[in-house]
Amino acid sequence: MRLTLGLDAVDARLGGGLAIAALHELYARGEGDAASVAAFALLLALRCGRPGPVLWLREDRAARHDRPYGLGLADLGLDPARLVLVQAPDTLALLRAGAEAVGCAALAAVLLEPFGKPVAFDLTASRRLMLAAARSGVLTLALRSGDPVPSAAQSRWQVAAAPSLTLGASAPGPPAFAVTLLRHRSGIGGFATRLEWDRDSASFTPPRSGPALAAVPLRAAAAAERARRRAA
């Protein structure tokens, strides 16, 4: 099964969409983009079409910074009653709980949010999650920060907030995201796009200005991002 974003150009580039029974990584572009990563992950969980709860596993230190707001979730189109929040004391506990949760086919999706750049969330841990997702069919999303590390994830994305274009009478526009495909295990080339969320259709819509897709030279993009972080 595939998770489509609702944009023909993007879904075609992904070979029909993202595999649902797999692990996907979402990296925040900067320190201020963690909320956008979380929102994008929840919207992907909503788009996957699987029934059942969405389980969000958070490391204690990550959960202290912010908490999801029920009315905000509802405004995105996600019923807050579907969301189950679990806090883990450390990364190892998060990964153990995550492996068990991903193996439960009754869940729609599992989000894992470690704090910082944990050493324990390595290639082996990601491979366990990937295999568990393939068996259960549960969409598994890792909310990461810092520089990408080796992983068995099916895809790796960079997510940031994008300017929301105003509507008539200066009303705020829909939530917008700047997303970049950094890596795909099937060899799909990197690309960047701007996505807007349409609550009524529960899908992403094309940007109202600028190109829908832009090719990304991955080595150059990674080098530029490292230089930006050093300068910051």
pLDDT digits (tens, 9 = 90+) for 18-67: 999 999 999 999 888 999 999 999 999 999 999 999 999 999 887 666 78
Sign of the Cα torsion 162, 178, 102, 53 reads positive
Residue 180's pLDDT band (cuts 50, 70, 90): very high
Residue 206's pLDDT band (cuts 50, 70, 90): confident
Candidate from 67-71, 107-111, 140-144, 184-188 with smallest mean pLDDT? 67-71
- Output the pLDDT for position 168: 66
Question: Which helix H or strand E contains 9, and what residues bound it?
Answer: helix 8-13
- Output the pLDDT for position 182: 95
d(CA 69, CA 47): 20
- Output the pLDDT for position 62: 75
| Higher local confidence (pLDDT), 208 or 101 | 101
- Region of 169 please: left (phi>0), alpha (psi -120 to 50) or beta: left
Of the CATH numbers 1.10.3720.10, 1.10.10.970, 3.40.630.30, 3.40.50.300, which one belongs to the domain with range 2-162+169-231?
A: 3.40.50.300
Strands 83-88 and 2-3: unpaired
Residue 171 has pLDDT above 80, yes or no: no
Q: What is the pLDDT of residues 98-120, one digit of tens each?
A: 999 999 999 999 999 998 889 99
Mean pLDDT to the nearest integer, 217-222: 45
Mean pLDDT to the nearest integer, 184-205: 91
d(CA 182, CA 222): 9
- Output the pLDDT for position 64: 67
